[in-house]
C-alpha cells in the first residue's frame, strides 16, 4: 500500500476521533450516540461527495471495470477505511456494542484495505460506497428526531420515506448500470 494511502487512513481516523470530541464539547447535553451519529452523517456526506467527484464518466459511472484504481478513487476509500477504524473503536465504548457490528466493521476495513492495497476495482468500490452511504444521513435523521423529541412527527415520516426512496433509487440505478455493462 502506498504511503499516501496509509497516511490518509491514519489521518482520517484521527480526524473522525477529533470531530467526535469537538461535537461532544459543543453539544454536552446530547447523548454519545447522537454525537457519534453526527460524525457518521458527516462521513456519509463526505463519502458520497468524494465518490461522485471520482466518477470518470457519468454515462457509465461504474467503469472501467476491474481496472487500476485512480488516486481520486482511492481517496474516498482511504477516508472511509479510516472512518471504519474510528467507528470500530467507538463501538467498543458504546453500551450497545455487539459482535455482529464489530464483524461488520472488520469486514469493511479488510475489504477497503484489500482494495487499496491491490489498487484494483476502484470504480466498483466507489460505486458501492456511494450506494451504501447515500441513505445514511436520512437514516440518522430519524434518530436525531427521536432524541430531539419529534419521534412520531411528520418529519419522522419524511425521513423514513426519503431514506427508503434513496436506497431503492440507488439500488435500481446500480443494478441498471451493471446490466448495461455486461458483455457476453
Q: Could you list the pLDDT tens digit for every one of the 184 residues in the chain?
A: 789 999 999 999 999 999 999 999 999 999 999 999 999 999 999 999 999 999 888 888 887 788 888 899 999 999 999 999 999 999 888 777 788 888 989 999 999 999 999 998 888 899 889 888 887 887 888 888 888 887 778 877 887 788 788 778 767 765 555 444 444 3
DSSP per position, the chain: --HHHHHHHHHHHHHHHHHHHHHHHH-TTS-HHHHHHHHHHHHHHHHHHHHHHH-S-TTSTT-STTPBPPHHHHHHHHHHHHHHHHHHHHHTTSTT--HHHHHHHHHHHHHHHHHHHHTB-HHHHHHHHHHHHTTHHHHHHHHHHHHTT-TTSHHHHHHHHHHHHHHHHHHHHHHHHHHHH---
Domain ranges of the chain: 3-133
Amino acid at each position: 500500500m502506498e504511503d499516501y494511502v496509509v497516511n490518509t487512513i491514519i489521518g482520517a481516523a484521527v480526524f473522525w476521533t477529533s470531530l467526535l470530541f469537538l461535537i461532544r464539547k459543543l453539544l454536552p447535553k446530547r447523548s454519545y450516540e447522537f454525537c457519534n451519529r453526527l460524525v457518521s452523517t458527516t462521513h456519509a456526506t463526505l463519502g458520497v461527495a468524494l465518490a461522485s467527484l471520482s466518477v470518470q464518466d457519468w454515462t457509465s459511472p461504474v467503469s472501467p471495470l476491474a481496472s487500476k484504481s485512480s488516486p481520486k478513487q482511492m481517496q474516498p476509500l482511504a477516508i472511509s477505511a479510516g472512518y471504519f477504524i474510528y467507528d470500530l473503536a467507538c463501538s467498543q465504548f458504546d453500551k450497545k456494542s455487539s459482535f455482529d457490528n464489530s464483524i461488520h466493521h472488520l469486514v469493511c476495513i479488510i475489504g477497503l484495505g484489500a482494495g487499496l492495497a491491490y489498487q484494483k476495482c476502484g470504480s466498483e468500490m466507489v460505486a458501492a460506497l456511494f450506494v451504501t452511504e447515500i441513505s445514511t444521513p436520512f437514516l440518522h435523521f430519524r434518530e436525531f428526531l427521536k432524541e430531539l423529541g419529534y419521534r412520531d412527527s411528520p418529519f419522522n415520516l419524511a425521513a423514513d420515506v426519503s431514506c427508503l426512496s434513496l436506497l431503492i433509487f440507488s439500488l435500481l440505478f446500480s443494478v441498471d448500470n451493471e446490466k448495461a455493462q455486461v458483455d457476453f
